[in-house]
């Protein structure tokens, strides 16, 4: 290597961290990860700057519809945020480490709190599509654990005080917000009615194919974690209609205004929670 050459950084997380810093994504306390059909929140940021994943060295890119594949850095209520518009999933063939790579990189650049969002199937007949649910705990049925032996994850990864900031934001926005347990399954197929009966028996309130690995990793990395599920459909055996990703996208679009109001009003409370 000559003195004019830069050292080669082989580790993909280190490469992503370096790339984030090169693009000015540092000095940010809060990160948001937006699930299927929920990327519209990024459009609410002021002084926004979008960075396509293709420009970020080491950033995995999803092929699932509804995941725009870019980071947006900006402000809400004077608080600087980084918003991840789209994520990758285990069912796409990505590994546990790849699915959580962005979370690890966020922790490395100093992010203190992360809000994970997802589209989910509802396990309560009275929860109509468009219902929003604060995740208070999860059930990991993905058959994968993202943590390394040296990392420790004990108890629920969802911070009670940080999550309460979402509840405060919901009240200020006058947006109804349920609370419950999210079951993360591998996918890509939707659950059978028998699997839904099992999950209800186990105490789940919503079911999806993301979030749990990111939540565990973020907590192990020292970040505060909260999560919101958008109930986009009733799960198999509860709804008489066949399930489809198009239904998920349509429900996400329909709830966009309430979803954005909830997150916008929550930002100051989330910022206060990570500052303590």
Written as tens digits, the pLDDT of the chain (276 aa) is 444 555 555 799 999 999 999 999 988 999 999 987 788 899 999 999 999 999 999 999 877 665 568 999 999 999 999 999 989 999 999 999 999 999 999 999 999 999 999 989 999 999 988 999 999 999 999 988 888 877 766 689 999 999 999 999 999 999 999 999 999 999 888 888 999 999 999 999 999 999 999 999 999 999 999 999 999 887 765 656 655 556 556 656 668 889 999 999 999 999 999 998
pLDDT of res. 9: 55
190 is catalytic: no
pLDDT of res. 1: 44
Residue with tokens 């870019």: 70
223 is catalytic: no
- Indicate whether this model's pTM tops 0.85: yes
pLDDT of res. 252: 60
Which is catalytic among the residues 19, 53, 67, 170?
67
210 is catalytic: yes
pLDDT of res. 120: 92
62 is catalytic: no
245 is catalytic: yes
Which is catalytic among the residues 19, 118, 210, 229?
210
pLDDT of res. 63: 74
pLDDT of res. 190: 84
6 is catalytic: no
Among 33, 31, 135, residue whose Cα is nearest residue 88: 33
Torsional class of 155: left (φ above 0), alpha (ψ -120 to 50), beta (otherwise): left
- 122: β partners: 206, 234
215 is catalytic: no
Domain 12-275, CATH number (from 3.40.50.1580, 3.40.50.1240, 3.40.50.1260, 3.40.50.920): 3.40.50.1580
Q: Which stretches of the chain are DSSP H helices?
A: 12-22, 96-99, 101-108, 160-173, 193-202, 212-220, 245-254, 256-275
Which is catalytic among the residues 233, 251, 266, 271?
233
36 is catalytic: yes
158 is catalytic: no
Q: Which two tokens stand for residue 142?
A: 């993905």
53 is catalytic: no
């Amino acid at each position: 290597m000559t003195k004019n050459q830069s050292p080669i950084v082989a580790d993909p997380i280190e490469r992503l961290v370096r790339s984030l810093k090169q693009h000015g994504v540092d000095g940010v306390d809060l990160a948001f990860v937006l699930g299927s059909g929920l990327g519209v929140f990024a459009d609410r940021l002021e002084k926004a700057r979008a960075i396509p994943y293709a420009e970020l060295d080491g950033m995995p890119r999803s092929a699932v519809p509804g995941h725009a594949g870019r980071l947006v850095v900006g402000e809400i209520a004077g608080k600087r945020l980084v918003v991840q518009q789209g994520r990758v999933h285990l069912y796409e063939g990505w590994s546990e480490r790849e699915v959580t790579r962005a979370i690890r990189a966020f922790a490395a650049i100093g992010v203190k709190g992360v809000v994970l969002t997802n589209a989910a199937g509802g396990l309560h007949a009275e929860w109509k599509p468009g219902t929003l649910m604060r995740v208070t705990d999860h059930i990991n049925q993905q058959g994968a654990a993202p943590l390394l032996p040296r990392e420790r994850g004990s108890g629920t990864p969802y911070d009670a005080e940080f999550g309460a900031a979402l509840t405060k934001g919901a009240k200020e926005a006058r947006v109804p917000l349920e609370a419950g347990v999210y079951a993360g399954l591998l996918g890509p197929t939707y659950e059978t009615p028998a699997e839904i009966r099992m999950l209800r028996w186990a105490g789940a309130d919503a079911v999806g194919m993301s979030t749990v690995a990111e939540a565990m990793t973020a907590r192990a990395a020292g970040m505060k974690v909260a999560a919101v599920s958008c109930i986009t459909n009733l799960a198999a055996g509860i709804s008489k209609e066949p399930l489809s990703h198009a239904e998920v996208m349509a429900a996400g679009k329909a709830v966009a205004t309430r979803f954005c109001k909830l997150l916008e009003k929550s930002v100051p409370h989330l910022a206060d929670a990570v500052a303590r």
